[in-house]
Structures are given as C-alpha cells and as structure tokens.
Amino acid sequence: MERDGDQRKPAEATARMRPARLRHAHPNAAQRRYLTRGLTQPGGKLPLHDADGQRVSNRVITSCIRAGWAEPWFKNPIKPDWLVCKLTEVGRRILVANDMGQGWS
C-alpha cells in the first residue's frame, strides 16, 4: 500500500483509515478516569466535571463517544455546548474486564 514518495508501511496506512473504536481497544488513563465514574451513577451518567471540580475535556468525551464507550444522553438546555453522556454497555464491559485483570496494563 505504498504510493510514490510514501514511505509508510501498509499496516500504518490501514490503521489511519480505521475508525477510532477499532484503533484503540482500551481507554487511556484520562478516558478511564472519566468512564469509571459512570459505573456508580444511576443509568451510567458520566460527569461533566472531574473529581477536582474541573470540567472534563471535550476531547476526552468525544473520543469516548467515537470509541463506543459513551453515548450522548440528553441535551443540557442551560449549557447546550456541554455533552451530557452515559456509559454504554461496551464501556462498562471494558472497565469491568480491566478490574478482573483481563484488561490492559
């Protein structure tokens, strides 16, 4: 899968084309912190703010949505630019698998 002047290996080119949920099988540390808080909330509601009261980064939230670990829940009429999300079953399974020692290092 090399083009003229393109020195990338075929696997690298293929990885760039895959959706985020296929490229990243496990959440990174920031994503895990965000998603884990949904395990104890009714309906799996995910927080708008972290444990220190700082707003959770939109990059963290949208990356979790793209990966299929979170999904938008409802629109916040007071703050329409804030993403109110909930944990998906896939997200829950990944977090539980990690707690059981079957996840990532």
- pLDDT tens for residues 38-58? 999 999 999 999 999 999 999
Comparing 104 with 54, the larger pLDDT belongs to 54
Comparing 81 with 39, the larger pLDDT belongs to 39
The backbone torsions φ and ψ at residue 53, rounded to the nearest 5 degrees and listed phi first, read: 85, 5
Of 104, 101, 81, the C-alpha closest to 31 is 104
Stretch (H or E) spanning 71: strand 70-75
| Residue 1, pLDDT above cutoff 50 | no
Comparing 17 with 70, the larger pLDDT belongs to 70
Q: Which pLDDT band holds residue 101 (cuts at 50, 70, 90)?
A: low
In CATH, 20-99 is 1.10.10.10: yes
Lowest mean pLDDT among 1-5, 44-48, 60-64, 68-72: 1-5
The backbone torsions φ and ψ at residue 75, rounded to the nearest 5 degrees and listed phi first, read: -90, 135
Contacts of 39 (CB under 8 A, 6+ apart): 87, 92, 95
